[in-house]
Amino acid sequence: MAGAIDLQEYRGARRRLVETLQAQGLRDLSVLHAIDEIPRHLFIPTGVRHRAYEDSALPIGSGQTISQPSIHARYLELLSLTGKERVLEIGTGSGYQTALLSRLAAQVFSIERIAGLLDKAREVIQQMGANNISFMLGDGTLGWPQFAPFDAILVGAAAPEIPMAYVAQLAEGGRILIPLGDRDEQVLHLFTRHGDELARQDIAPVRFVPLVGKHSWKS
């Protein structure tokens, strides 16, 4: 299956995107390398595929979007992954960030609540030959306790507060990256676990779709 994808397609467009991100101040070479390698166009509906390497968010169906590449890049740079981590991703969405994470961490566990999105993401990622990703259809606010603790938890939707499941499933020294706020405006926060304490760092104002589930917004 891995050979089914032409990784040279859109190669120049990917290289230009990397140069754009570098010009914006992105410095993490492993993140830049992953963005250069992962074919973002495959995770985007064919109707907007020609815009795959613009730095813009795009619709992916089911009322969801794929974030602009600079947001993904910033998210991943903030986590400072070394390649040894177990990462929990809340919101598989298009699967693009999942694929990036597969190049940056040892194991990726990704949860999505919309079956149609998960099926599409899984299909593309299987074609790419990534074999360090586990998927689950379900309520992301519950986390994935069977595979805890996680070194990083990356939340691709906004919550009013951190679901306690994430705190319980976070390893010592682990990081949670999550947008917190109301349904319309949020601030991206980075939390780091030190014993029973979570050190908080406020990153930037953001706007994400709401995190829907038992321990967050109701649908």
**Beta carbons within 10 angstroms of residue 201's beta carbon:** 12
> What does the angle CA 213 – CA 132 – CA 191 come to, to the nearest 5 degrees?
50
Phi (first) and psi of residue 193, to 5 degrees: -85, 125
CA dist 162 and 176 (Å) reads 9
Q: Residue 152 is which amino acid?
A: A
Q: Residue 85 is which amino acid?
A: E
Active site annotation includes 80: no
What is the β-pairing status of strands 186-194 and 170-181?
antiparallel
Name the catalytic one among 30, 56, 62, 67.
67
Please, are residues 144 and 95 in contact by the beta-carbon 8 Å criterion? no
CA dist 112 and 134 (Å) reads 11
Residue 161 DSSP class: S
Q: Is 182 helix (H, G, I), strand (E, B) or coil?
A: coil
**Residues assigned a catalytic role:** 67
